[in-house]
């Protein structure tokens, strides 16, 4: 009964989405307030029905209704509650349901809190949102129905893939999807602006919170996924340039560029047309990301050809939305008036530089990810594009960006003073030089370029601090005056500093762990020890432990530093009988921001075990940096200017349109 | 959903062999040779995996290739010889960094090409905008506005 209810609710949601996708847009064209005003209740009703459908699916999972095929294939009644719940989106059908649910939530939020928007813009934007929702709901209903029943309900489910039985699954996909789908709002607003042929600084102000929010979630989602892979896969890698990862990096890069160009548009009315294009690109890349992961085209072109139904459907969605949006852009963008002039050396100029490099980096990732697929489809040649390619191309594009980053916030709008900015960054540059010298002195071996990477990272972090120091005049004014200035500083200024500092921290971690991480691979017997980076790790023995739906073989290791015991590490091999699979549960010990990482192989008959022991210097900086970026975004989001919303004149102008027709 | 797919595939491939990447018994006693073996392994793709190097992969094929690389090293081959040997055996697919050739020109050309193109377009666009702004001159008043100014000033200006 409940699955059928969910199925039916989803169909109703599709019907409402179809109404929402047509009526308000017709209303906006014919200036019919009644038709336009349908958008808000439609968006709310759409949300309600999608929520019912999602709740129905979640109910099937939580109460282990194995008569539903999707639940039978991906769940097991022995799993803890949290994994029964998270396995809702641990599979194709459920993850699409999550996608649509988030879309519905965002649509409802625009409907509820978009009262200060011009009526036509709101109607158009909600209409475009509904196109996306309708397309994905049609996709779910026709090719990926999660509510399908099986005639004879089995007694037990097949279990969730063991690697996914991890808190990471509760966090990573929802965050990632919040980011992907968040960009759908900016996309809808961009299309709405193109439909109207009118765009101004107020548009940028409405859209920026959504860009910020989506970017924050995507940042945290990517970082969370990276940490999950780091501890779960058992070999301590944090980024693999895997196509599935690249799929999430592409919209992040485009979104970061959008975040910065929207800033120029909001403050100076410049870069309007470009910002619209970036908004379209960011969501297009989110769609491509979904397509890459969901269609099976990555596994092999053949897998895609064997069961092409889903793939072709998503491909059609891609072509219609991306192609349609770009065509509309080519047609309508020339109508949009260009805004303010600025000198090449200025805050605007710096942000254009930022956009150029970010977009090139993004294009590199896109081309590198899709090239092997395209080449194979074209002439059957098989090549691989792996980490060495991305390291060789992405790095050189990102380093100039990093070096330029501290200059940007120090430059004035319209006309900046490069020399003045350089002078103010002198302390930061000196700190960076000291960091380079220190890394050369401390490190033995490692790549020659690594100390310079550390230097760039320190420059970025010190540059972010410099900005705040300059604005609050620390040391130049009495303390209480500084404090007052710090409090008076716009939150967005703090946000910028935090996010830029975070990027520096992440770079620091990446460089340090790649250049100076060390590794021991060995087979050891009880009482034997391994030495790494001044730590002594002694193997005490193994014991067995039973979990709710798995068995653990746990290794017990004592960690000493200069003879003193500082802790124990207990990595394990975990076997899941339901699928007869094993996972590696690595043990991590944090020492400041560095970590000891120990993973265990299968024990040999003579009692020895193969172990992999890593020392990961400063590895936590990678994710702490991402967390700082998130905090920066949050601070910026809490800025008063964004909460207050649009300037008055724009609101006054649309008032007549809001009155109902008599 | 980043890892679901990659990981699911990985699991399928390695479900039976519950071992992992480089195993202790594969490693060479000579640390210099072993370091070279690791470096070479990171450049080579495990052909049955999804975008993994043989150094990271747990698949049996990757295991065999790691052994092969180490045997060639012990026999005294140079790094280039070993890589060439594997390319002749498995094709360019085995290289994680595709060599520059006619069919990878667009791949390697994209980053520098796009950067150059973008820079040129920004400079040209800027110049055009500047020219347009200069041609328009300091924002002139329309005839209607001129008349309005005259009207306002009319009272005091002409008397």
Tens of pLDDT, residues A567-609:
999 999 888 887 788 888 899 999 999 999 999 888 888 888 8
Rg (CA), chain B: 33
**Which of B5, B11, B97 comes nearest A392 by C-beta?**
B97
DSSP string, A84-119: HHHTTSSSHHHHHHHHHHHHHHHHHHHHHH-TTS-H
Is the Cβ pair B20, A176 closer than 8 Å? Answer: no
Residue B2 has pLDDT above 50, yes or no: no
**A356 at B interface, C-beta within 8 A:** yes
> Who contacts A146 (Cβ-Cβ below 8 Å, separation ≥6)?
A57, A68, A70, A93, A94, A96, A97, A140
Cα A635 to Cα A204, A486, A569, A579, A607: the distances in Å are: 18, 14, 38, 45, 54
Instruction: Note whether A346 and A415 are within 8 A (CB).
Output: yes
Measured in angstroms, the CA of B158 and the nearest CA of chain A are apart by 37
What is the residue extent of each domain of chain B?
2-99, 103-157
Cβ within 8 Å of B, A 326-355:
338, 341, 344, 352
The per-residue pLDDT for A302 is: 55
Q: What is the mean pLDDT of residues A526-554?
A: 91
**B5 at A interface, C-beta within 8 A:** yes
Find chain B residues with C-beta within 8 A of A363's C-beta.
Answer: 110-111, 114
Find chain B residues with C-beta within 8 A of A582's C-beta.
Answer: 18
Measured in angstroms, the CA of B127 and the nearest CA of chain A are apart by 11
Q: What is the pTM of this model?
A: 0.89
Find chain B residues with C-beta within 8 A of A357's C-beta.
Answer: 115
Q: What is the mean pLDDT of residues A246-256?
A: 94
Find chain A residues with C-beta within 8 A of B23's C-beta.
Answer: 521, 601, 610
Residue A655 has pLDDT above 50, yes or no: no
Residue A338 has pLDDT above 80, yes or no: no
Would the ipTM clear 0.85, i.e. be above it?
no
Instruction: Note whether B68 and B44 are within 8 A (CB).
Output: no
The per-residue pLDDT for A242 is: 85
Residue A104 has pLDDT above 70, yes or no: yes
Measured in angstroms, the CA of A523 and the nearest CA of chain B are apart by 6
Helices A167-196 and B2-14, interaxial angle, to 10°?
Answer: 140
Confidence band (pLDDT; 50, 70, 90) for A5? Answer: very high
The per-residue pLDDT for B15 is: 36
**Exposure string for A196-205, b = 16+ CB within 10 A, e = fewer:** beebbbbbbb
The alpha carbon of residue A626 and the mean position of all alpha carbons in its chain are separated, in whole angstroms, by 10
For residue range B3-36, what is the model confidence (pLDDT) as tens digits?
444 444 333 333 333 345 677 778 888 888 888 9
**Which of A173, A244, A385 comes nearest B98 by C-beta?**
A385
The per-residue pLDDT for A641 is: 65
Find chain B residues with C-beta within 8 A of A579's C-beta.
Answer: 15
DSSP string, B57-96: --SHHHHHHHHHHHHHHHTT--HHHHHHHHHHHH-GGGBS
For residue range B80-122, what is the model confidence (pLDDT) as tens digits?
999 999 999 988 889 999 988 888 899 999 999 999 999 999 8
Is the Cβ pair A523, B25 closer than 8 Å? Answer: yes
Is the Cβ pair A298, B119 closer than 8 Å? Answer: no
Is the Cβ pair A386, B96 closer than 8 Å? Answer: yes
CATH of domain B2-99: 1.10.8.640
Q: What is the DSSP letter of B52?
A: -
**Exposure string for A321-338, b = 16+ CB within 10 A, e = fewer:** bbeebeebbeebbeebee
DSSP string, B115-159: HHHHHHHHHHHHHHHHHHHHHH-S-PPPHHHHHHHHHHHHHHH--
For residue range A388-434, what is the model confidence (pLDDT) as tens digits?
999 999 989 999 999 999 998 888 888 888 888 898 899 999 999 99
For residue range A276-318, what is the model confidence (pLDDT) as tens digits?
999 999 999 999 888 787 776 766 555 555 567 777 888 899 9
Q: What is the mean pLDDT of residues A147-164?
A: 86
Q: What is the mean pLDDT of residues B129-135?
A: 77
In whole angstroms, what is the distance from residue A552 CA to residue A34 CA? 63
Cα A206 to Cα A433, A649, B131: the distances in Å are: 42, 15, 32
Instruction: Note whether A289 and A181 are within 8 A (CB).
Output: no
The per-residue pLDDT for A401 is: 94
Strand, helix or coil at A582? strand
Cβ within 8 Å of B, A 250-309:
293, 298-299
Nearest to B68 by CA among B53, B85, B47: B85
**A404 at B interface, C-beta within 8 A:** no
Q: Of A641 and A176, which is predicted with more confidence?
A: A176
> Who contacts A329 (Cβ-Cβ below 8 Å, separation ≥6)?
A194, A276, A277, A280
**Cβ of A640: how many Cβ atoms within 10 Å?**
9
Highest mean pLDDT among A211-225, B24-38, B115-129: A211-225
The per-residue pLDDT for A604 is: 82
Residue of B nearest to A295 (CA): B5
Q: Which residue's entry shows tokens 């699911």?
A: B8
In whole angstroms, what is the distance from residue A18 CA to residue A14 CA? 6
Instruction: Name the percent of chain A lying above pLDDT 90.
Output: 54
């Amino acid at each position: 009964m409940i699955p059928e209810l969910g199925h039916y609710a989803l169909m109703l949601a599709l019907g409402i989405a179809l109404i929402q996708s047509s009526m308000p847009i017709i209303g906006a064209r014919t200036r019919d307030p009644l038709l336009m005003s349908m958008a808000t209740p439609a968006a709310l009703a759409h949300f309600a029905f999608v929520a019912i459908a999602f709740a129905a699916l979640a109910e099937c999972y939580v109460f282990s209704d194995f008569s539903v095929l999707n639940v039978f294939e991906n769940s097991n009644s022995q799993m803890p509650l949290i994994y029964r719940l998270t396995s809702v989106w641990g599979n194709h059908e459920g993850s699409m349901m999550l996608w649509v649910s988030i879309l519905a939530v965002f649509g409802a939020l625009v409907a509820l809190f978009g009262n200060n928007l011009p009526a036509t813009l709101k109607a158009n934007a909600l209409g475009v949102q509904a196109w996306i929702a309708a397309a994905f709901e049609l996709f779910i209903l026709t090719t990926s129905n999660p509510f399908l029943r099986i005639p004879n309900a089995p007694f037990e489910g097949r279990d969730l893939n063991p690697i996914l039985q991890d808190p990471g699954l509760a966090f990573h996909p929802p965050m990632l999807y919040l980011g992907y789908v968040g960009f759908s709002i900016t996309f809808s607003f961009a299309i709405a602006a193109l439909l109207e042929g009118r765009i101004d600084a107020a548009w940028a102000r409405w859209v920026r919170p959504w860009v910020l929010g989506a970017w924050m979630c995507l940042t945290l989602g990517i970082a969370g996924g990276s940490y999950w892979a780091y501890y779960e896969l058992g070999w301590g890698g944090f980024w693999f340039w895997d196509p599935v990862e690249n799929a999430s990096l592409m919209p992040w890069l485009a979104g970061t560029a959008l975040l910065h160009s929207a800033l120029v548009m909001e403050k100076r009315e410049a870069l309007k047309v470009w910002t619209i294009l970036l908004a379209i690109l960011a969501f297009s890349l989110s769609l491509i990301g979904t397509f890459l992961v969901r269609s099976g085209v990555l596994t092999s072109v053949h897998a895609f050809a064997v069961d092409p139904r889903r793939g072709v459907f998503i491909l059609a969605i891609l072509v219609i939305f991306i192609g349609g949006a770009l065509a509309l852009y080519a047609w309508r963008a020339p109508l949009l008036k260009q805004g303010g002039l600025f000198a090449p050396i200025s805050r605007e100029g710096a942000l254009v530089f930022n956009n150029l490099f970010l977009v090139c980096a993004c294009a590199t990732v896109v081309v590198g990810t899709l090239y092997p697929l395209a080449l194979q489809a074209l002439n059957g040649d098989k090549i691989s594009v792996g980490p060495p390619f991305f390291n060789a191309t992405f790095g050189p594009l990102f380093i100039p960006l990093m070096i330029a980053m501290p200059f940007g916030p120090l430059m004035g709008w319209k006309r900046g003073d490069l020399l003045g900015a350089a002078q103010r960054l002198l302390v930061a540059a000196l700190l960076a030089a000291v960091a380079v010298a220190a890394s050369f002195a401390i490190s033995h071996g490692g790549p020659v370029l690594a100390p310079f990477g550390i230097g760039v990272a320190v420059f970025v972090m010190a540059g972010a601090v410099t900005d705040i120091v300059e604005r609050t005049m620390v040391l130049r004014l009495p303390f209480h005056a500084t404090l007052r200035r710090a409090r008076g500083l716009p939150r967005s200024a703090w946000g910028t500093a935090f996010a830029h500092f975070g990027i520096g921290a992440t770079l620091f971690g990446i460089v340090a762990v790649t250049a100076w991480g060390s590794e021991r691979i060995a087979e050891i017997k009880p009482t034997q020890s391994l030495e790494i980076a001044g730590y002594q790790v002694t193997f005490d023995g193994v014991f067995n432990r039973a979990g709710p739906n798995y068995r653990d073989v746990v290794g017990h290791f004592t960690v000493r530093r200069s003879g003193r015991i500082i802790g124990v590490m207990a990595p394990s091999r975990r076997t899941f009988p339901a699928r007869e699979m094993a996972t590696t549960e690595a043990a991590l010990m944090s020492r400041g921001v560095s970590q000891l990482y120990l993973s265990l192989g299968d024990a040999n008959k003579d009692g020895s075990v193969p172990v992999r022991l890593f020392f990961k210097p400063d590895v936590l900086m990678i994710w702490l940096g991402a967390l700082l970026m998130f905090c920066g975004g949050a601070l910026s989001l809490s800025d008063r200017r964004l909460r207050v919303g649009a300037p008055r004149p724009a609101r006054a102008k649309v008032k007549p349109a809001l009155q109902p027709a008599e | 959903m980043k890892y679901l797919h990659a990981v699911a595939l990985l699991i399928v491939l390695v479900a039976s062999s519950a071992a992992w990447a480089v195993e202790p018994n594969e490693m060479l006693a000579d640390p210099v040779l072993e370091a070279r073996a690791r470096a070479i392994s990171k450049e080579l793709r495990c052909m049955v995996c999804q975008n993994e190097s043989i150094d990271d992969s747990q698949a049996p094929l990757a295991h065999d290739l790691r052994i092969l690389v180490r045997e060639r090293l012990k026999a005294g081959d140079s790094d280039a010889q070993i890589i060439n040997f594997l390319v002749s055996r498995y094709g360019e697919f085995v290289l994680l960094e595709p060599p520059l050739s006619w069919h990878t020109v667009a791949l390697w050309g994209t980053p520098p090409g796009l950067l150059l193109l973008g820079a040129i377009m920004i400079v040209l666009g800027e110049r055009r905008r500047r020219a347009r702004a200069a041609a328009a001159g300091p924002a002139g008043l329309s005839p209607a506005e001129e008349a309005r100014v005259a009207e306002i000033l009319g009272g005091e200006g002409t008397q």
